Amino acid sequence: YLEQTTEVKPLFTQVYNDFKMLHPDFVINFDDDIREGSKVKIYRNHLEQVLVILLDNAFKYSADRKEINFAASTNSALLEVVVQDYGLGIAKKDLKRIFNRFYRVDKARSRKRGGNGLGLSIAKRLIEIYHGSLEVESVVGSGTVFKIELPLIQEAPAEDETSKGE
Ligand code: ATP
């Protein structure tokens, strides 16, 4: 698995289309600024699983405002992904524990929404195995932002125009 590569754009387009279909009552703002042909060194199913965990949570823990921002962009070195909701938010004291196995913020409230408290611990471990990072920022009552960074595979630079035919 660890040596596999994934082309970024088709995966994100697929995940976005799946979620749009599954949640027709939500506004999903998909901001795709992914360079054509860019690749990351991660097994496709693993990256998809991480995206599904974050998006599922964004839907589960949204409140009245059924809107999610899903953004992916590439720069010269990194793929950066943002999954943002305008839902319940997470208190500071809980933030550092949500990546722990079986940790759930509010047992009574969360139980209605199902889940075991495993999703985020799996997501974080997967991303870190591939030398990426998964960070969170949240404000109670206003919403939560998860950010993934993964190193892009550096393609050999294209032959310089000026040096051609010399
Ligand atoms: P599952 O194992 O099915 O993923 P889960 O959602 O409870 O269940 P995690 O994904 O690990 O488990 O999340 C842990 C806890 O973090 C959740 O129970 C919830 O309290 C909190 N949480 C996660 N994502 C969000 C979010 N987007 N907004 C608010 N709280 C969140």
The CB of 59 under 6 Å from ligand 1? The reply is: no
Is a pLDDT exceeding 70 seen at residue 13? yes
* Residue 44 near residue 7 (C-beta atoms within 8 A): no
In short, whether 42's Cβ falls inside 6 Å of ligand 1 is: no
User: What global pTM score does this model have?
Assistant: 0.91
pLDDT of residue 166: 47
For a ligand 1 pocket test, name from 120, 135, 142 the mutation site with the most ligand atoms within 8 angstroms of its C-beta: 120
Q: What is the mean pLDDT of the chain?
A: 91
Question: Which has more pLDDT, 159 or 150?
Answer: 150
Q: Please classify residue 90 by burial: count the beta carbons closer than 10 Å to its beta carbon, then call 0-12 exposed, 13-18 middle and 19+ buried.
A: buried
Ligand 1 binding pocket includes 141 (Cβ within 6 Å): no
Dihedral sign, CA of 118, 148, 28, 93?
positive
ipTM above 0.90, yes or no: yes
The CA–CA distances, whole Å, from 125 to 17, 102, 159 equal 26, 14, 38
Tokens of residue 36, six digits: 């054509």
The reported pLDDT for the residue numbered 76 is: 93
Question: Would you say 61 and 87 are in contact if contact means Cβ atoms under 8 Å apart?
Answer: yes
The band of 158, judged by pLDDT with boundaries at 50, 70 and 90, is: low
Predicted pLDDT at 103: 85
Using alpha carbons only, how large is the chain's radius of gyration in Å?
18
102 and 96 Cβ atoms separated by less than 8 Å = no
pLDDT at 145: 98
| Cα–chain center distance at 121 | 13
| Centroid of ligand 1 to alpha carbon of 3 (angstroms) | 30
DSSP state of 24: T
Q: Which of 28-42, 54-68, 80-94, 143-157 has the lowest mean pLDDT?
A: 143-157
